[in-house]
Amino acid sequence: MHLGKIVDFLIEITLSLARVASNMASPPLRFLSRLLALSAFFCGTTADAQIFADFETTGGNFTIEMFHQDQPMAVANFIGLADGSLTWLDQSDLKLKQGVPFYDGIKFHRVIKDFMIQGGSPNGVGTDGPGYEFIDQFARDADGALLHPHDQQGLISMANSGINTNGSQFFITDVPTPWLDGVHIVFGKIAAGPFGPLEEGIAAITAMNNTPVTGNSPITDLVINKIAIRRVGDEAMAFDVHAQRLPVLSAPPAKFLFEPSPDGSGIAELSYAKPELTQINVISSDDLQSWKNLKSAFYGETDSTTDDVSALLATKDAQFFRLIQLDYSPSPHAGGPASVARGMLKLDFDANIFDIDLIIDDSGTDGTWNRPDGQGGGTLQSFQYEPRAAAYVDRIVVNYEGLVTGSDFVFIMDIRLSFDSPTGGRFQGTTNGSPQRIGGTFQWVAPL
C-alpha cells in the first residue's frame, strides 16, 4: 500500500477514536492523552520532520526527540551506536562490531536523585565506551547563545571525561543543570511517542531518578532492553550518520618480518601503514582466543617505522597480532600551529587562579610570563610544545618561576590545548602533578 494511503488510513482511525471520545459523557483523561499522543505519532509531516529514539527499559519506556539539525555529530553517533550502523570496539574481547546494536542490554549505571540518570557504559562502571571519542560541538544562535542549554527536565546530553572526549555515555536530566552548559552536548529531549504522551515519558525518567541506590548505583538494575530509531519525513530519512565527520574504526593489514640470526634468534618486526591523524592499537594473543592491547599510539603525521617485537616472541611459543585503526582525519578539528616560537599564549582560567600570558622566545623552548593585571611575572625555566600530541590535542608542558604578591614560587603545568579555531580554544590539565584539574580558554597570538 502507498505510504500516503497508509497515513490517511491511520488518520481516519485516529479521528474515529476522537468521535468515540466526544460521545462519552466523561471520557477518561488517560484515554484522551493517549489519543493525542497517537495522533502526534501517526500524523507527522515533512514540515516537522524529526528523528526519534524509542527506549524500552526495565525502569519504564520513553521517547527521545533528537536535535539532528543542530547537533548532527552527537545525534549521528547515538543513532549509529543504537542501530549498529557504526563500527564500535567491544572492549571485553577487543573485537570490532558492526551491525550490532551497542546499547541493548546496557544499564543505567549512575543515578543521582534530583540530578540525572546516566548510561552507555558496557562494563557498567562508567570507564569505557565505543573505542573512539569525538569532539564537542555546541550549536549557537547569531548572538552566541546556546540553542540547547540544560534548562529543563528530560534532556539527553553527552557524558564526558573532559574536552572532546564524547563516546557512548549519556545522561538524562531530572532537573535543570545550567552549570553543564557549554561542557556537555544536549542532543535531544523527552517527547510524546508510541509509549504515550510527553507526561508519561517524564514520569518514567522521574521514577528511574528516584530508584533506590547504593552510592550512585541502582540497587535493582535499570537495563536498556532496546532502542528503536524512528524517522519522520524525507529530510529525517536522508540524514546520513556516516556523513557527520565522526572518527572511523577499521582493521588494517600488517606484515610480519623476520630476519634470523646465526645464534638461532632473530629480529622480528611488524610493518604497517601509520597514516596522519590516526591512532593504531596493536593487539596480540597467544592462542587466538584471548587478546590484549600490546601498544597504542597516535600519529599526528604519517610514519613509516616498524615495531620490533623480538623480545615478546623470545618468551612465547607462538604469538598472533592484529591491528585496530582509529581514523580521526574526518573530524573538523582546527589543530594548532606547527610551532609557537616567538608567539604568545594567553591562558584564562575558569577557577580562582590568576590568568597568565606565556611569551615564547625564538627557540620555542623558553621565554617569560606575566599576569595581565600586572601583579606578577617571571621566567619560563622550560617550555615544551607538542603539536598533535593526541587526537584533538596539542600539548604544552611549562616549568616557570617568578614573583607573585611578594612570594617566590616554581610552578609546573601540563596542559592539553584544544583549538576550536586557528587562534584559540579551550584547555585542560594539571599543575605540579596534582590530580585536580585546571581548565579555561586560551588565545594564541602568532608572531608578527
For the question of residue 417 being annotated catalytic, the response is: no
Gap between the Cα atoms of 397 and 358, Å rounded: 12
For the question of residue 180 being annotated catalytic, the response is: yes
Residue of 42, 115, 256, 349 marked catalytic: 115
For the question of residue 115 being annotated catalytic, the response is: yes
C-alpha distances in Å from residue 32, one per residue of 35, 38, 53, 90: 5, 10, 23, 45
For the question of residue 55 being annotated catalytic, the response is: no
Residue of 134, 171, 419, 442 marked catalytic: 171
Gap between the Cα atoms of 89 and 279, Å rounded: 13
SS3 state of residue 388:
strand
For the question of residue 256 being annotated catalytic, the response is: no
Radius of gyration of the chain (CA): 27
Residue of 109, 110, 150, 388 marked catalytic: 110
Gap between the Cα atoms of 117 and 110, Å rounded: 6
Residue of 68, 109, 148, 184 marked catalytic: 184
**34 CB-near residues (< 8 Å, 6+ apart):** 196, 197
50-57 and 155-158 beta bridge pairing = unpaired
Strand partners, 440: 349, 427
**92 CB-near residues (< 8 Å, 6+ apart):** 122, 123
Residue of 38, 180, 222, 270 marked catalytic: 180
Residue of 118, 209, 244, 428 marked catalytic: 118
* Chain position carrying cell 601498544: 295
Residue of 61, 71, 160, 209 marked catalytic: 160
* DSSP string over 130-175: SS--B-----B-TTS-BSS-S-STTEEEE--SSTT-B-S-EEEESS
Gap between the Cα atoms of 348 and 442, Å rounded: 6
Active site residues: 110, 115, 118, 160, 171, 180, 184
